[in-house]
Structure 1
C-alpha cells in the first residue's frame, strides 16, 4: 500500500531531478582543421546554483592527446548560476603531418575531460582536413555543370547578363546552416556553424566560397559595363544600385560569406527587421532589376526574379531559419535539415512571386540611394552591431 511517506519520497525525488544542474557544451565536439588550429569551447550551465569545475585535462589514454593543448593561462573553477565559461584549445599540425614540412595530414583526435561537481564529462576533439567527401564534390560539380548548361541553353531567350548572375546567386545560397555527419541527434548553432565551414560536416551549397557574395558583386559590376550585351541605361543603373544595396545589407555582419550572413540571422534575427532600411533598399533594387529584365522578355524577368529571390532569402530572410528548425527541443538534425530546406524553398517561391507581381516604383534608383544612405548613417550613429 502506498502511504504518505511514499508520496513524500516521490515528490522529493521529482524535485531533486528537476533541480539537477544542466550542463552542455557548445559545440558538442570540436572539429579542428589545418586552417582552424585554435577553437573556443563554451560550457553553458542552466542551473540555479554555481557549478564547481575541476580536473580539466586531456585524456592520456588517447594516442593523439599530446597534439591538443588548452591555451588558457588560468582554468575556470566554477560556472555561475545560469552562466557560462569559455576555454580555448589548440592543435599541433606537425603531430598529424604525414611527412615533415608537407601539407598533407592524417586524421586523429583526443578527449577533453573535466568534472562538473562530481560528474565526469567528456568532449571529443577531432582533427581532419576540410576536403569534402568525393561523392559530395562530384554532386556539386554536377549541379554547377547543370546550371552552366542551363545558362548556355537559354542564351537565345535570356541574355547572359541576366542568366549568369541568377545562376551564381542560386549556386552560393546556403540551403541550410550546415549538414553534419551526426544526423540522428539534435545539434545547436555552434555545431551547425562548424559543419557549414566544412568541419565535421559540409555546407549545403553548390558553390561554398567564403567570398560568395563578393563573386556575385564582381559579376554584377562586370555585367553593368555599357558594352556588355548592349545593356540599356535603365538596366545599367538597376545593376549598380543592386550591388550598392547588397553592400549595405551585409554591412552589419561585415562578411561576404553567405554562411556567416545566414548564421547571424539564426533565431529569427532576420535582416528584414534587424536592418529594415537595407532590406528595403535591396528589395527595391531587386524590383528594378526584374523590371529591367522584363523589358527583354517575361521569361527573362522570371529567371532574374528566381536568382534575386535566392539572394533576398539569404541576406534578409534568414536562409533556412524557422522556429521549428532552430528552437524545437530534441529535433534530430536530419529532420531539422529537411524542414530547413523546405522553408528555404517556400521563402524563395514567395519572394519570387512578390518580385514578379509587384511593380517597381518610379525613380526606384533614388529611393534605393536614400535607403542606403539611411543605413550608413544609422550604423555610424549606433555602431556596427546595433541595427534599427
Structure 2
C-alpha cells in the first residue's frame, strides 16, 4: 500500500493498537500494510506513552530523585559530623574548616550548612588573617614580655599601663581579651597558714587604727613575718614597709623565727632611711615583737610600737597585702631546693622588682620608688 493515503482517524486507531493494546510496531505495520517508519511517525504525532511505560519512567525518576536526596542528606550528615564544633564559631573559623575539607565536600554545600556566603569564603582565601588579628599577635608579644617580667602577677590593668608607657595605643579591654584568649592569668594567692602560739604580751595599744595613708615617708611603718618552703626546711622572712609609698625599707631572712629576725629587719630599715623624727612601727602581737630585746631596740631608735588587736588581721592589712603579692610571685606552688636559692629569689623580688618597678594602686600606678621620687621633687619645687 505504498502511496496509499490514510485518514487521521485511521492513523489514530493504528497508534492505539500499539499504545493501548500492546502490539509491537512491526506487527501493527505488517498487519496494516504500512511501514514501521510511517507508524513511528504516527506514534510521534498522535501517540502517548503507555501506562506501563509511563509508570516505569515515573518510578525511575522517583528513584533518581530519592538517590540524589540520599546523597545530599548523607553529605550534610558527614559535614555536620566533622564540623559540629564550628557551627557557633566566628565566620573565620568556619572558613578555615571549609578550606581544610574543600577536597572532600563541595564548598557551596558547606557554606549552606554553616550559613555563610561563598563569596565571603573566597574573599577570606585572599586574606586569611585580618589586620586586627595581626595587630593582636603583635601586641601579644609585648604582653607576654610584661607578664613574664612581673612573674605572672600582673593582670590586664597593669599590663595595659605598661603598654601605654611603651607607646602602644590600645584599650584595657583589648588587653584583657588577648590575655584571656592566650590563657595568661594573674596569679592569685592562697590562704595564709596560721600558727597557734602561746599567750602574747600586750606591749602596745593599736595606735595606728587602720590609718594607712600618711602624708610623708618615714612616719609610719608596718612589719610582719612569713615563711618560704625549701627542702632544707622553712626560711622565715621579716619585712618593714613604709605606709607612705608601700616601699619595703627593711627585711631579714633566716631559718629561725625569733626576735633576732625582727631586729635585723628593723636595723636595716633604720640604717637605710635614717628617720629624724619618731616613727610609729605597727605589727601584730607576735612574741618576736613583744620580746624584751625588740622593745628595747625600738625604744633606743625612736620607734613607737603599735600592735594590732589580737586575732584581727585587718589592723595590719597593708603588710598582709604585700605578703599576698609576695606569695604569688615567689612561693606559690614552689618549693626551693635550698634556703640560699630562696634568698636569692626573694632579694630579686623585693629589690629588683617590687620597690623600683611593681605598679601599686595606692601610688596611682607608680612603683614605690617612683612615688617617693615624685614626692621629693614636689618638695624641692615648692
TM-score range, shorter chain: under 0.3
TM-score, length of structure 1 as denominator length? 0.19
TM-score, length of structure 2 as denominator length? 0.19
Larger relative contact order, structure 1 or 2 (CA cutoff 8 Å, min sep 6)? 1
Q: Greater strand share, 1 or 2?
A: 1
The structure with more radius of gyration: 2
